[in-house]
Amino acid sequence: METSRRAERLSTTTAILAVFTSQLPITVVAVSLSEIADDTGTPIAGLQWMQSLYLLAMAAAVLSAGVIAETVGRKRVIVSALLLMVVGATVGAVASISAGGVMPLLLTAQATAGVGAGALLPTTLATINTTVTDPARRARAVAGWVGGTTGGLAGGVLAGGVLAGGVISQWLSWGWVYVLVAALAAAVAGFAAFALRRAPTSDPGLDVVGQATATLGIVALIFGFIRGGSAGFLSAPALLAYLVAAAAFVVCALHERRTRRPLIPPSMFRAPLFNAAALAAAMALFTVIGTGFLLVVFLGQGLDHDPWRIALHMVFMPGTALVAAFTVTGFLMSRLDAAHVLLCGIISAGLGTFALSQLPGDFTLIDVAWRLAFIGLGVALMISLAAAVAVHSCAPDLAPKAGAVNTAFRQTGGALAPAFLGSLYAAAAAGGGDALNAFTGAVGVIAWLLLGTGLLVMGAIALDRAR
């Protein structure tokens, strides 16, 4: 009995440490983008790819990692995923001292680490669900895991990443942020190899066509947005990318309807609340990643702020998420159902982005802080509740895939944000506008998209009640 409880504790600890590690590069690298641009002469398009690739790779890996883990073993996948993060971060560190080819190395680093990070999400959750047998203990363990991916603990990791990235880039070199990620991933990989037991395997089947077409569609869409920022959103290369993305998504949808073991079961999309939750999840990370990216480019390249000063501005967004997860979320959940709390999050994020789009020219740190606090509160509610709404809107046998698909939508939204919003910022700046107008204009687009998301969620709630 004691041996079993010890295995539960070790598995839970490993799972939470692993998802911490997967979240850290999102902000610790983001704060360093302005220094990377100054050091390498990288244009905004290069920074867009850097930020997008990590989240794109995560989104692609999330969908299939769980199936692969069932086939070859979860312990093997978790340790391998962490080692992939070590390899990716090591390549990033090497890029900082390379004499040439820095951006190709950095893009390789982001993609490699992102695949590892994405593989950790479904496999660590499955490890908890199969190892912790008592329902009450399992619920507490899953709550800790959720806190590491979307809740207060994630907010703490992201806030810590912002400050760590600011300190490292300010007083050392941006290459050391990758050393930090590599060291943490290596330590957690060693702990996982010691702590996790081998679990029985099975052959649930890997949907290669679904995975390939979904990933191709997302990559083509991101390429179209980034290319559109420099050549025009209706230019031939951008339009061709949009057509490739549309074709890939159509092929994916047709294949998923016909295959016996779909990667993305089409039946899930018959539930209005599932669709609303998927959109809300995508918009949540689109909002937080997009706002953070725009803030780094605006403050770093537009106003020439140093990394530590950028970090002091950015930290209010994940910092508020940390507070919200432990206070506001529970308060609202005790009074409203999950869908309406999700709507509250969208409203808060919408108000924050609208206020940020009205930022005055003589702004102070406080002017930015309270606006980011509204965004952080909203995003914390949106991410946490979108997953809950998605899982509960589907049949119980589809719950695991519903969670994975919602996570994939969330990561995809984050990957699209730098591509689309960065292109808007670059186009406005290139057109002769000043940095502030380029920044506020792009943030204003986020506010309008959140308004549309809120209206669609309200419609989904009404349709669900009518059913």
**pLDDT value at residue 427:** 79
Token digits for 446? 């986020």
**Cα–Cα distance list, 6 to 1, 10, 245 (Å):** 9, 6, 48
**pLDDT value at residue 322:** 57
**pLDDT value at residue 1:** 46
Residue 276: exposure state from Cβ atoms within 10 A (0-12, 13-18, ≥19): buried
**pLDDT value at residue 301:** 76
Q: pLDDT for 206-255, tens place per residue?
A: 677 877 888 788 778 877 877 776 667 778 888 898 899 899 989 988 88
The letter for the amino acid at 163 is L
Measured over the CA atoms of residue 425, residue 431, residue 435 and residue 441, the dihedral's sign is: negative
**pLDDT value at residue 81:** 93
Q: pLDDT for 161-216, tens place per residue?
A: 667 777 777 778 888 889 989 999 999 999 988 877 776 555 555 677 877 888 78
Q: What is the 3-state secondary structure (H, E, C) of the chain?
A: CHHHHHHHHHHHHHHHHHHHHHHHHHHHHHCCHHHHHHHHCCCHHHHHHHHHHHHHHHHHHHHHHHHHHHHHCHHHHHHHHHHHHHHHHHHHHHHCCCCCCHHHHHHHHHHHHHHHHHHHHHHHHHHHHHHCCCHHHHHHHHHHHHHHHCCHHHHHHHHHHHHHHHHHHHHCCCHHHHHHHHHHHHHHHHHHHHHCCCCCCCCCCCCHHHHHHHHHHHHHHHHHHHHHHHHCCCCHHHHHHHHHHHHHHHHHHHHHHHCCCCCCCHHHHHCHHHHHHHHHHHHHHHHHHHHHHHHHHHHHHHCCCCHHHHHHHHCHHHHHHHHHHHCHHHHHHCCCCHHHHHHHHHHHHHHHHHHHCCCCCCCCHHHHHHHHHHHHHHHHHHHHHHHHHHHHCCCHHHHHHHHHHHHHHHHHHHHHHHHHHHHHHHHHHHCCCCHHHHHHHHHHHHHHHHHHHHHHHHHHHHHHHHC
Cβ atoms 223, 107 nearer than 8 A = no
**pLDDT value at residue 351:** 95
What tens-digit pLDDT sequence spans the chain (467 residues)? 445 667 777 777 888 888 888 888 877 777 777 788 777 777 766 777 777 788 878 877 877 777 777 777 778 888 999 999 999 999 989 988 876 678 888 889 988 999 899 888 878 877 776 776 666 665 556 555 555 554 445 545 566 666 777 777 777 888 888 998 999 999 999 998 887 777 655 555 567 787 788 878 877 887 787 777 666 777 888 889 889 989 998 998 888 888 877 777 788 888 888 889 899 989 998 998 889 888 888 888 778 788 778 877 777 776 665 566 556 766 776 777 888 888 998 999 999 999 999 999 888 888 988 888 888 888 888 887 787 788 777 776 676 677 777 877 888 888 888 878 888 888 787 765 688 888 999 999 999 999 999 999 999 888 888 77
**Dihedrals φ, ψ of 339, to 5°?**
-65, -40
